[in-house]
Amino acid sequence: MAAETASRGAALAAEGRLPAERVALVDLLDRLLAGGVVITGDIVLSIADIDLVRVSLRALLMSVRESQPLDTGVRHEPSRL
Amino acid sequence: MAETGTYLYAVSGESGRPEPAVLDALTGVAGTPVRAVAHGGLVAYVSTVPLEEFGEEPLRRSLEDLDWVGATARAHHHVVETVAATAATAPVRLVTVYSGEDKIREMLDRRHDDLVAVLSRVAGRREWGVKAYTPRVAEPAAAGAAGRDEGEAGRGASGGGRGAPSGEPGAREGGGASGGAASGVRAEDGASGRGGVGPGTAYLQRRKNSLRDRDSAWRISAERAEQLHAALAAVAVDSRRHRPQDPQLSGRDDLMLLNGAYLVDDDRREEFAATLEALSEPGIVIELTGPWAPYSFAAPDAPAHERGDRDGG
């Protein structure tokens, strides 16, 4: 059993490698909008500075950003859309 | 000449930085070439971008455009991946634009210690993503907390669920007279002489039970997600939970139990994958993504300072 598990695990790890163009955008945005080094000061701008007043990206950011309370792993809050 | 800014993708140490030929072959955001700016033992990867596109006003508009965001995110990611393939890398958040290269150097000075701490923490490690889903229960309130509020307690609340016009009939019709819903209740109609349970009460009771069942199913799923996360986090150096993905973005209607990111030593990745495999169980769909550059472990809210101190001292 252990051997099988290990080999399947290895296969899983191997297949996890995806070319950049096949990475799901939503997974990427999780990381690029809620992760990464945030630098302030002396910059022209960053997403953090933009007052996202409108529509789709605002919803997108709200859905990705951690500034919203993360109280459980289980809920979606589509009402914001 | 049009005004330009300097777009920053990532910072690495000198060690393992990509060969110039590799950078020459790279295309960054908006089709721009990518170059390295080395300063004080750190290397910043940047592009010169037109402020016509990356200035504040144009960005306000562009950021509303998911196609633009997607293309920019992928280009940014491609540069980060290329650097991270050979060097410990601190990815920078999407769309960080400086007025010029001198400002990048100032930043490398100012943030030097932070960046070094991040780089030492992520060296020899990769980020893995683990998403866990369970099929959504076909009841309208199952998806959201809205339906779970105690205050709901009634028939009128069937709309509380997640945009589900296909509401469950039992909840809609109320009053206990619903045709196909749980049988046995209608028999009580007009026969409440026992002083017992009237139809309305029976309905409420049934409704309560159904909510309780759903609540416990929900709780069990949440517990599974906690267990999965804890087991994976135990193999990882660090872990973080992203918010559950919006179904509109992910295109998946399943209930997302876990959207985790794990910073894993390269020599423990097999162990990590095996742990994941061992935790698979019916009713939960698990997806592994990665390896990623350590996006989720470069943010300031990651405990970089504590860890840097502890590791370094």
Q: A3 in contact with B at a CB cutoff of 8 Å?
A: no
* Residue B264 lies inside a defined structural domain of this protein: yes
How far off is chain B from A63, nearest CA to CA, in Å?
Answer: 6
Q: A54 in contact with B at a CB cutoff of 8 Å?
A: yes
CA distance linking residue B30 with residue B60, whole number of Å: 16
Q: A40 in contact with B at a CB cutoff of 8 Å?
A: no
Neighbours of B193 (CB within 10 A): 6
Contact of B182 with B209, CB cutoff 8 Å: no
End-to-end CA distance of chain A: 47
- For B238-247, the pLDDT digits (tens) are 999 988 887 8
Are residues B132 and B167 located together in one domain of the fold?
Answer: no
Contact of B36 with B45, CB cutoff 8 Å: yes
Contact of B126 with B266, CB cutoff 8 Å: yes
- For B11-24, the pLDDT digits (tens) are 999 999 999 999 99
Are residues B264 and B132 located together in one domain of the fold?
Answer: yes
**Amino acid occupying residue B79:** V
* Residue B184 lies inside a defined structural domain of this protein: yes
Average pLDDT over residues B161-189: 37
Which of these ranges, B113-127, B234-248, B261-275, has the smallest mean pLDDT? B234-248
How far off is chain B from A15, nearest CA to CA, in Å?
Answer: 9
Find the CB nearest A42 among B69, B93, B103.
Answer: B103
Are residues B239 and B204 located together in one domain of the fold?
Answer: no
Find the CB nearest B73 among A18, A29, A46.
Answer: A29
Number of domains in chain B: 3
CA distance linking residue B163 with residue A78, whole number of Å: 8
A35/B91 CB distance under 8 A: yes
Q: A1 in contact with B at a CB cutoff of 8 Å?
A: no
Size of interface A-B (CB pairs under 8 A): 243
Are residues B34 and B106 located together in one domain of the fold?
Answer: yes
Looking at residue B119, its pLDDT comes to: 95
Are residues B107 and B56 located together in one domain of the fold?
Answer: yes
Looking at this predicted complex, what is its ipTM? Answer: 0.71
B288/A47 CB distance under 8 A: no
Are residues B19 and B109 located together in one domain of the fold?
Answer: yes
Are residues B262 and B132 located together in one domain of the fold?
Answer: yes
Give the HSE-up count for residue B132: Cα atoms under 13 Å, Cβ half-sphere: 25
Residue A18 has pLDDT above 70, yes or no: no
Are residues B224 and B304 located together in one domain of the fold?
Answer: yes
Choose, out of A18, A22, A47, A75, the residue to mutate when testing the contact with B (most B CBs < 10 Å). Answer: A75
Are residues B18 and B115 located together in one domain of the fold?
Answer: yes
Q: Where are the alpha helices (DSSP H) in chain B?
A: 20-24, 51-54, 56-62, 66-84, 101-110, 112-122, 169-173, 199-235, 247-250, 269-278, 304-312
Contact of B259 with A81, CB cutoff 8 Å: no
In Å, the largest CA–CA distance within chain B is 90
Are residues B184 and B265 located together in one domain of the fold?
Answer: no
CB proximity under 8 Å: B 144-163 to A = 144-146, 162-163
Looking at residue A47, its pLDDT comes to: 55
* Residue B144 lies inside a defined structural domain of this protein: no
- For B220-231, the pLDDT digits (tens) are 888 888 999 999
Identify the top-confidence range among B114-118, B139-143, B280-284: B114-118
In chain A, where the domains are located: 20-68
Looking at the DSSP bridge assignments, the partners of residue B27 are B33
B97/A45 CB distance under 8 A: yes
Find the CB nearest B242 among A30, A37, A45.
Answer: A30
B206 Cβ neighbours under 8 A, 6+ residues apart? B170, B176, B181, B182, B185
Which of these ranges, B73-82, B119-128, B190-199, has the smallest mean pLDDT? B190-199
Looking at the DSSP bridge assignments, the partners of residue B255 are B134
Q: B47 in contact with A at a CB cutoff of 8 Å?
A: no
* Residue B242 lies inside a defined structural domain of this protein: yes
CB proximity under 8 Å: B 76-115 to A = 76-78, 81, 90-99, 103, 106-107, 110-111, 115
Contact of B80 with B9, CB cutoff 8 Å: yes
Find the CB nearest A34 among B8, B11, B242.
Answer: B242
Give contacts of A73 with chain B, Cβ < 8 Å. 222, 225-226, 229, 241, 244, 256-259
Contact of B288 with B148, CB cutoff 8 Å: no
Are residues B104 and B189 located together in one domain of the fold?
Answer: no
CB proximity under 8 Å: B 222-261 to A = 222, 225-226, 229, 241-251, 255-259, 261
B250/A24 CB distance under 8 A: yes
Identify the top-confidence range among A69-78, B70-79, B97-106: B70-79
CATH of the domain at B279: 3.30.70
pLDDT band at B40 (very low <50, low <70, confident <90, very high): very high
Q: Which residues span the domain enclosing B161?
A: 154-210
**Can you read off the two tokens belonging to residue B246?**
């919006």
How far off is chain B from A80, nearest CA to CA, in Å?
Answer: 11
* Residue B143 lies inside a defined structural domain of this protein: no
A36/B222 CB distance under 8 A: no
Burial category of B147 from C-beta neighbours within 10 Å (exposed 0-12, middle 13-18, buried 19 and up): buried
B272/A63 CB distance under 8 A: no
Are residues B131 and B258 located together in one domain of the fold?
Answer: yes
